[in-house]
């Protein structure tokens, strides 16, 4: 990225610029380390005892049946669960070695450094240009943002399609274009990480292919974590894959997500260690 955003005092040791991760070879190669993470909604344990490390500049996929806590865990990585009444996280969520849930950490700044793309495209009811410029303006950027907007749209492989209609309302774009616009909006603030919660579930196969190609390009600059129900997609795009399943309590009716296995994607899909993983990826379960 050509410009660097000044980091918030709440994240004193972390550069917001994504270039930092790619350029420093001496630091540990993990963006996140999760240690015995539990996520609760009120008294309900939604995700239990997850420990894993998520590497820099790779795509990590979370797969598993509905209700296994994939999206819940994903939202814990940028503190989106803070917005849900009664939600809380126990255990350690470390980002570049820093406690993400420490008392001095500003969750708003966290969500700038760790961007998110949701299941359904959610552009603002504004022009294409203003959608992309929204985040930088919120950060206090003044003046002409043309270069920032163009760079973000190029990064999302969208510039050539929209460069002549930047003032048009984003709602006039196709679904696949809207999703790439949301990716452009996320990278316009120069994050370090992009979280994607089933980003292709509402898209046709052609648009899905474009998003997958885009992810492969983006991982050169960003760490990407994706939740997907599409196992073929995980096999195509992810470097590492985590398989989750559900433990049901017949007495209480509660369902808790647990991490079964986490490894290189090639191993998860060809020679997993756990029979439950093999049953799931082979289509015999879920």
User: What CATH number has the domain bearing residue 55?
Assistant: 3.40.50.300
Whether 52 maps to a domain, the answer reads: yes
Instruction: Assign 3-class secondary structure to 123-151.
Output: CCCCEHHHHHHHHHHHCCCCCCCHHHHHH
What does the DSSP assignment read for 112-126? HHEEEE-SS----SS
Decide if pLDDT at 193 tops 90.
Answer: yes
The β-bridge relationship of strands 193-197 and 114-117 is: parallel
Decide if pLDDT at 168 tops 90.
Answer: yes
pLDDT band at 252 (very low <50, low <70, confident <90, very high): low
pLDDT for the residue 253: 66
pLDDT of 84-142, one tens digit each?
999 999 999 999 999 999 999 999 889 989 999 998 899 999 999 999 999 999 888 88
Whether 181 maps to a domain, the answer reads: yes
Q: How many CB atoms lie within 10 A of CB 171?
A: 11
pLDDT for the residue 16: 36
What is the pLDDT averaged over residues 194-221? 91
Whether 262 maps to a domain, the answer reads: yes
State the DSSP H helix or E strand holding residue 277, giving kind and residue range, or none if neither: helix 275-281
Residue span of the structural domain in which 216 resides: 32-281
pLDDT band at 2 (very low <50, low <70, confident <90, very high): very low
Whether 18 maps to a domain, the answer reads: no
Whether 268 maps to a domain, the answer reads: yes
pLDDT for the residue 269: 96
Distance from the Cα of residue 222 to its chain's centroid: 10
Exposure on the CB side of residue 259, measured as CA atoms within 13 A: 24
Total domains in the fold of the chain: 1
pLDDT for the residue 247: 87
Q: What is the dihedral of CA 65, 91, 57, 193, to 10 degrees?
A: 90
Whether 145 maps to a domain, the answer reads: yes
pLDDT of 144-159, one tens digit each?
899 999 999 999 999 9
Whether 10 maps to a domain, the answer reads: no
Alpha helices in 170-256 (DSSP H): 175-187, 205-218, 231-237
Whether 1 maps to a domain, the answer reads: no
What is the pLDDT averaged over residues 27-41? 89
């Amino acid at each position: 990225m050509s410009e660097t955003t000044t980091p918030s005092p709440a994240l004193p040791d972390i550069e917001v610029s994504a270039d930092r991760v790619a350029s420093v070879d001496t630091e540990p190669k993990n963006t996140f380390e999760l240690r015995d993470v539990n996520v609760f909604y009120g008294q309900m344990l939604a995700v239990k005892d997850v420990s894993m490390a998520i590497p820099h500049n790779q795509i990590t996929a979370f797969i598993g049946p509905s209700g296994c806590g994939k999206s819940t865990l994903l939202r814990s990585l940028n503190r989106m669960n803070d917005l849900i009444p009664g939600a809380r996280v126990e255990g350690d969520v470390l980002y570049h070695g820093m406690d993400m849930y420490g008392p001095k950490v500003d969750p708003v700044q966290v969500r700038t450094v760790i961007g998110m793309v949701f299941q359904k495209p959610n552009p603002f009811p504004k022009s294409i240009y203003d959608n992309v410029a929204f985040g930088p303006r919120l950060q206090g950027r003044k003046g002409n943002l043309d270069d920032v907007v163009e760079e973000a749209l190029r990064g999302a492989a969208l510039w050539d399609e929209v460069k002549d209609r930047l003032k048009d309302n984003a709602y006039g774009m196709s679904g696949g274009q809207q999703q790439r616009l949301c990716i452009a909006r996320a990278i316009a603030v120069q994050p370090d990480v992009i979280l994607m919660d089933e980003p292709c579930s509402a898209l046709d196969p052609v648009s899905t292919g474009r998003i997958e190609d885009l992810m492969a390009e983006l991982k050169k600059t960003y760490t990407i974590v994706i939740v997907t129900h599409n196992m073929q997609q995980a096999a195509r795009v992810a470097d590492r894959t985590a398989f989750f399943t559900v433990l049901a309590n017949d007495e209480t009716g509660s369902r808790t997500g647990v991490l079964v296995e986490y490894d290189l994607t090639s191993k998860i899909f060809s020679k997993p260690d756990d029979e439950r993983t093999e049953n799931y990826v082979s289509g015999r379960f879920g």
